[in-house]
Structure formats: structure tokens, C-alpha cells
Amino acid sequence: MSGNGEMMPDRKNSDRRSYILTLSCPNRPGIVAAISQTLFELGGDIAGAQQFDERESRIFFMRVVFSVPADGIVRGGLDVALAEIAARFGMKWSLRESPRPTRTVIMVSRFDHCLVDLLYRWRIGELAIEPVAIIANHPRQTYAHIDLDGIAFHYLPVTAATSGEQEARIADIVRETEAELVVLARYMQILSDGMSEWLAGRCINIHHSFLPGFKGARPYHQAFARGVKLIGATAHFVTPDLDEGPIIEQDVERITHADSPDDLIRKGRDIERRVLARAVRYFTECRVIPNGHKTIVFNP
């Protein structure tokens, strides 16, 4: 059983194959019954289910963890059966095999605390990611103190004149590695509108503020000058609207008049690490469903 009460499949048990289904559609009676009945007829065993009806838009959201006999229906048959339900209810849906790790590209600039944290959580098995590449706009020696454990490292410097060429190479790496997720782990470069649109729904950024908040340079110094009592961090999907993408996770920490700007930076880095790690975990566990300018997040 996982920490959220879901009965998670035994990885050593080859008798069943496990999946996570997420869906959204206009709300109407019969959705849960149709999903449950279909999975029952296919030999499915539902290990956990979460649902939410957004009353304002009348959109229904659901996440289902289930397994089927390994010698039963194949993935293609599942897709066909679920597609029939989707057509009946006008669903947007996604099916992912579990616990397959998410192929992930991590992008980083000079500040490496989020990169180090993600790699640590991956190594101890806390994050179900498979780091397939690290992309940085600083040379490898900048990160000489970090054990990258054989992960491919790509030094892609960027200037205003070379940004198009650099982004083309980023896109090549994402395609070549078959990455499912791109994480901007304090990557301090702005992606173009075209790149942001191409990565829509699969690129997570960590922002050093509790958005909306202090923008521009030296945000912690701005916060210090204003005498704030809380600082925070925000993980969100990247969109062409800078720092305005759908929010996945946020956290804050209380500070006092005795905290210096350096104290705020130190505490801010701690918040950034944990917020980004949670957002990545929610993504890999298929807990995040886009909802326009917002997200539905089925927390553990």
C-alpha cells in the first residue's frame, strides 16, 4: 500500500499488469459506472480511484489505478475499450503503464540545488524518473562536484543570436531520448513561444516566488525590502505566457524581521527543492490533469 492508501502492485508479481487511467469530460450520470463496468469485464482490479466534479465548468475529472491479468487483454485491447467509453462521454483520456519510470530531461543553469535534489531522490527510488539527459547553458566543469551517474550531459550555451539554434538542439535531444518530461531545474533562460507550445503539458518550471509575486531581478531582496513575512516557490507548466502557466504545486515558509537576504535565499532554495520534487512526482504518478489555465492535482 502506498502512503495515500492505494494498493500498489507488487513489482515482483508478473501475474498482472498495472495501469493509471486519467480522464476529463463534461459531467453527467453514469461515467464512474461505465469505467468500473468496463474494467470489470476486462478482468480489471481497481486499486484506487479519485474523482472531482468542478461545478463551475461542469467538468468531471478522474484518476484510476488498476491492474489486469498478464495473460488477459493486451494494451491495444484496453485502448479500444476505453476509446469506446471516451467517444460516448466526450472524454479526454490518457492511459499509462505503471510503475514504468518517466523518461526525463533536466535543464539547469548555474544554481544546481534543484538538479542535485532531483538526482538524489531518483537514486534512492523516491522519484520514478529515468534521467535521459541533462542540458545546461554552463560547461560541465561548473557541475564537477556532482555525480551525474553516467547521464548524458549536453553543454548548450545560448545568446540572443544563437537561441534558435540552441532550442533546435534541445528539441533534437528531447526527440532522440524519447523524453516524456522536461524539467527546468532553475534553468535561467526563457524558452521561445514556439518551444513552450511544443512542450505544452510536459515541461515543468520552478519559480522562486509564490506566484503571483515579485518579478524580475533579485526577488528575495525585493521581498526583504518590503518586509514580507512569507516566502515561497511555485512549480508550474511552461507556457508562452512567462511565469503564467498552470500551477501544479506551491509552498511557503514564514520569515521574520531578523532574516537577512541571505537567509531568505537559503530558505528559498529549500522551498524550491521540495516544491519541484513534489510537482515532478505528481506528474510521474499521473496526478496532474490540465484544466485550462489551472490544473486538477489528485494529491496523495
Instruction: Tell me the catalytic residues.
Output: 243
**Other beta carbons less than 10 A from residue 49's beta carbon:** 16
Angle at 6 between CA 184 and CA 60, to 5 degrees: 70
Contact 102, 181 (CB under 8 A): yes
* Contact between residue 218 and residue 148 where contact means Cβ atoms under 8 Å apart: no
CA distance 87 to 253: 45
CA distance 116 to 243: 23
Residues 203/276, Cβ–Cβ less than 8 Å: no
State CA 71 to chain mean position distance.
Answer: 32
Nearest to 198 by CA among 223, 167, 224: 167
Query: Helix (H) and strand (E) counts for the chain?
Result: 7, 13
Calculate the alpha carbon distances from 174 to 34, 72, 160, 290 in Å.
37, 34, 22, 21
**CB contact at 8 A, 290 and 201:** yes
Give which of 228, 124, 261, 235 is closest to 181, Cα–Cα.
235
Cα dist. 291→53, 123, 274 in Å? 12, 32, 24
**Cell numbers 547553458 label which residue?**
137
